[in-house]
Structure 1
Amino acid sequence: MIEFKLPDVGEGMHEGEIIQWLIKEGDAVAQDQPIVEVQTDKVNAELTAPTTGVVKKILFSEGDIVEVGTTIFTIQEENEMSVPENDSMEEDIPNAQSGNVKGIAEHITSKPVFEAGRVLATPFVRQMAREMKVDIQQVIGSGPAGRIIESDLQKFKENNSITRESAHHKDDRILQEKDPMKNADQAKGTENEWEERILLKGIRKKIAEHMVKSVSTIPHVTHVDELEMDRLKELKDQLKAYSDDKDIKLTFLPFFVKAIVIALKEFKTLNASIDEKTNEIILKNYYHIGIATNTNEGLIVPVIKHADQKTIFQLADEIRQLAAQAREGKLSINQITGSTFTISNVGPIGGMHATPIINYPEAAILALHKMEPRMVVRDLEGVIRLMMNMSLSFDHRLIDGVTAVHFTNRIKELLENPIRLVVEMR
């Protein structure tokens, strides 16, 4: 029994990731037949069988990280194998006789390479095929055991009418001519085992079209900053008793809406859009804030109309109602259109920062990320604070980087000192 240990295939590599097993336990393999694909920090390598025999044990799964020198599979050599004394073996293995290993060896080595669905070739030749834009599965190998070599690629490039596919599937084409429907069903069934196709329609299709238009039309730039949330959390906790009395679930989001509205009034280009037909900038003096909401049908953006005219509690209640209606599919057209600025609150899910896509034709979108205690420096001393990141994507046709930073600085000022937020709300 041979133990195959992971070799150093990457110039001093220490470990590799198992990307794909090309065989399974119990498979008969020929010497130099590809067994497994391994990825290191430098190369992708295809490791081959050290001898002809049968794969007895696979010790790692795809995705596992393995150190160099660790046994990853075992193989039983052909000269170690014996034939069980039963008549069925003679029927299954050509030329096999009781106690005769030669029949087994001939059975193993005579198996066509393409029966495994993969041609024999070194990683170098495979890379060469990709650079030449040659489908290596269609090339006929002239090397040992049908291995594809460099000259085979050149020959195929010059005369691509000679392909492995045509040689291998000649009989299949004849069969299909006799019974085309039967073979069409078989091909369809095979495809369905590997792929699942879902029609792009409805909300998901609209989202896709909207995102493509946004990215292809608007030059996106993203600015990331962080907030200290301790004081805002204290204020929210103090208001909890009042919100409970009103049966309202108070979150941080209404405070962000109010701070953003105050900042939008001072930095008008972030509450604007471009009329591409008239080549005009539209500065909007109303503040309709979209709240990106995840649903089973995709991302929906219900809109809080005239957010500047609503209290913290009113905003909290409306956000809750709109989110519930979005998930139930009960929003009206009026409730999902007309936003002037969008907030994407991914904090409950996680993540440190992102590059959110602007909700066309708006000029900017703000993503809010998870809150967590972090070590920060205050007055030259390390202290722990409740921190949150925010990512602002903005339309660089309308907004310069300096303006974007001033905008997020204003939001920081209001939320990190919530007494100022309360004073400036109107």
Structure 2
Amino acid sequence: MGEFTIKMPDVGEGVAEAELVEWMVKIGDPVREDMMVAAVMTDKATVEIPTPVSGTVVWLAGDVGDTIAVKAPLIRIATDATGDEPAAPETSDIPTPPPQEITTAEPPRMPAKAAPPAAPTAPPARQPSPEFDKPLAAPSVRLLARENGIDLRLLRGSGPAGRILREDVEQYLARGADPAPAISGFAKKTAREEIKLTGLRRRIAEKMFVSTSRIPHITYVEEVDVTALEELRAKMNAERRPDQPKLTLLPFLMRAMVKAVVEQPDVNATFDDDAGMLTRFGAVHIGIATQTASGLAVPVVKHAEARGIWDCATEMNRLAEATRAGTATRDELTGSTITISSLGALGGIVSTPVINHPEVAIVGVNKIATRPVWDGVQFVPRKMMNLSSSFDHRIVDGWNAATFVQRLRVLMETPALIFIEG
């Protein structure tokens, strides 16, 4: 009997350490080869780490929320094998993949040597079993299960190597298994729960603290009549080709922003406040704030200035799907020069979006509502929408902020101008 050490793998170029976001085992637990034992996070990418040997866990490097240096010991396993494991093997003859990024939700599914049987419509429940029966699931799936009081050992996963997927949990919930008991009457609630922020939620908290503590925000709100734009959008969607995505309002806004920043170049910029250096960009890399199961992420549509309406829509949809599926790369989640924040139908009337540091501007989109508007003779129904946009007041004066938003308003109220070159 010997002791095998798994070390923190190199999870990305230039990354010296990663945050431990989940232990899937504890000291004394038996593990089998290629079982996932830990999940770590760097930036907005989560990586699950498997064990290449079977045995018993005898030592863990730290607690959830701790940071572990690359190549530092992460876990020790008592086993018949001996030696150190500095990183996961590059290839494997088993279905379970080596450490992989699972940025937000489900990890990408890896093909096995033989095609797995079709997943059942509703995976049957089973009785929890001891010892090696440690369910394989992504952190977001474990969080969903915890939030709904589900023991993952009761589920049979439909993913590779029995991995429990998000849809397995959702199907279990849809069947109404183990419903919470009804509570009648009024009663005092004395429960208290303390939750340590880890992983993506901790990264979001840190980012918001930096943004609000270092950037003096100014928020400017303007209403926009999008009646003509909505008519154009409906017509374009009705005539789109099968290979073209359904257009939302955002691709039109992206193209309007490309035109507006030409007249206000300080808006399409980043500011290094430590060095006192403003960097303006010719390229317009638009971040799209995207909600995922694990929290908010910002995939980036690179070079929007070189894309038309349909291309903007296609790339935005691709990035949103990749981000929610957990397959977006680090490059796709960084490098924005200005950001859009939109809650769609939940967008409310007015918002105060927080700037994505170190950028200097963010454009907030509120919901579209039909309202009566005076046209000089009578009130007529118009589709109205507010833009709530925030700016770094150290760089962008109120006049410049207003000029930028007013230019967006003109372009969106007269959408033909968006398609005029130059």
Q: Count how many residue pairs are aligned between Structure 1 and Structure 2.
A: 234
Q: Structure 1: which 5+ runs fail to align?
A: 1-191
1:416 maps to a residue whose letter is E
Larger radius of gyration: 1
> Does 2:309 correspond to 1:277?
no
Counterpart CA distance in 2 for 1:273 and 1:334 is 17
Work out whether residues 289 and 341 of structure 1, in 8 Å CA contact, stay in contact via their aligned partners in 2.
yes
Alignment partner of 1:345 out of 342, 346, 349: 342
Q: 1:225 aligns with which of 217, 222, 226?
A: 222
- TM-score scaled to structure 1, two decimals? 0.53
Q: Secondary structure at the match of 1:358?
A: coil
Give the unaligned 5+ runs of structure 2.
1-188
CA distance in 1, matches of 2:308, 2:340: 18
The amino acid of 2:393's aligned partner reads H
* Deviation of the 1:285 alpha carbon: 1.2
Q: Deviations over 1:171-210 (max 9, x none)?
A: xxxxxxxxxxxxxxxxxxxxx9611232211111001000
Residue 373 of structure 1 aligns to a residue whose secondary structure is: strand
Query: 2-side partners of 1:325 and 1:245: how far apart?
Result: 21
Q: Flag the 1:241–1:203 CA change in 2: closer, same or farther, 3 A.
A: same
Q: Counterpart of 2:346 in 1: which secondary structure?
A: coil
Which amino acid is 2:242 matched to?
Answer: D
2:272 and 2:371 mapped to 1: Cα distance?
43
Q: 1:244 Cα deviation (Å)?
A: 4.1
Q: Residue in 2 aligned with 1:257?
A: 254
Whether 1:235 and 2:232 are equivalent positions in the alignment is yes
CA contact (8 A) 2:347 2:365 kept: no
Separation in structure 1 between the aligned mates of residue 377 and residue 202 of structure 2, nearest angstrom = 52
CA distance in structure 2 between the aligned counterparts of 1:357 and 1:380, rounded to whole angstroms: 40
Q: What displacement does 1:415 show?
A: 0.8
Distance in 1, matches of 2:320 and 2:411, equals 26
1:300 is aligned to: 297
Correspondence 1:256-405 to 2 at 5 A: 256-405=253-402
- C-alpha distance after superposition, 1:9-64 (max 9, x if no partner): xxxxxxxxxxxxxxxxxxxxxxxxxxxxxxxxxxxxxxxxxxxxxxxxxxxxxxxx
Kept after mapping to 2: 8 A contact 1:243/1:250: no
Q: CA deviation at 1:308?
A: 0.7
Structure 2 Cα separation of the partners of residues 295 and 339 of structure 1:
19
Secondary structure in 2 matching 1:351: coil
The answer (yes or no) to whether the contact 2:269–2:278 under 8 Å persists in 1 is yes
- Counterpart amino acid of residue 334 in structure 1: D
Aligned equivalents of 1:384, 1:415: Cα separation in 2 = 18
Shift of 1:272: 1.4
Q: Residue 92 of structure 2 aligns with which residue? A: none
Conservation of the 8 A alpha-carbon contact between 1:243 and 1:313: no
- Aligned alpha-carbon RMSD (Å): 1.5
Aligned residue in 1 for 2:31: none
Whole-angstrom distance in 2 between the partners of 1:416 and 1:321: 28
Structure 1 residue 217: Cα displacement: 0.4
Contact 1:287 1:340 in 2 (8 A): yes
Ranked by relative contact order (alpha carbons within 8 Å, sequence separation 6 or more), the top structure is: 2
**Would you say the 8 A contact 1:295–1:326 is kept in 2?**
yes
Aligned mates of 1:241, 1:380 — CA distance in 2: 33
Equivalent residue, structure 1, for 2:205: 208
1:404: Cα distance to partner? 0.7
String of CA shifts for 1:187-245, please: whole Å, max 9, x gaps: xxxxx961123221111100100000000000001000011011101111221134343
* Higher percent of residues as helix: 1
User: Could you tell which deviates more after superposition, 410-419 or 233-242?
Assistant: 233-242
Mapping 1:387-426, distance limit 5 Å:
387-424=384-421
Deviation at 1:380, TM superposition (A): 4.2
Q: What's the CA shift for 1:276? A: 2.4
Q: Deviations over 1:225-267 (max 9, x none)?
A: 0110111011112211343432412111100000011101110
Q: Measure the CA separation in 2 of the matches of 1:268 and 1:412.
A: 17
Structure 1 vs Structure 2: percent identity of aligned residues? 41
Matched residue of 1:348: which SS? helix
Distance in 1 (CA, whole Å) between partners of 2:420 and 2:229 is 14
2:293 partner amino acid: N
Q: Could you list the per-position Cα deviations for residues 48-101 of structure 1 after superposition, in whole angstroms to 9, with x for gaps in the alignment?
A: xxxxxxxxxxxxxxxxxxxxxxxxxxxxxxxxxxxxxxxxxxxxxxxxxxxxxx
Cα distance in 2 for partners of 1:225, 1:311 equals: 25
**Deviating 4+ runs (over 4 angstroms):** none
SS at structure 1 position matched to 2:240: helix
- The SS at the match of 2:351 is coil
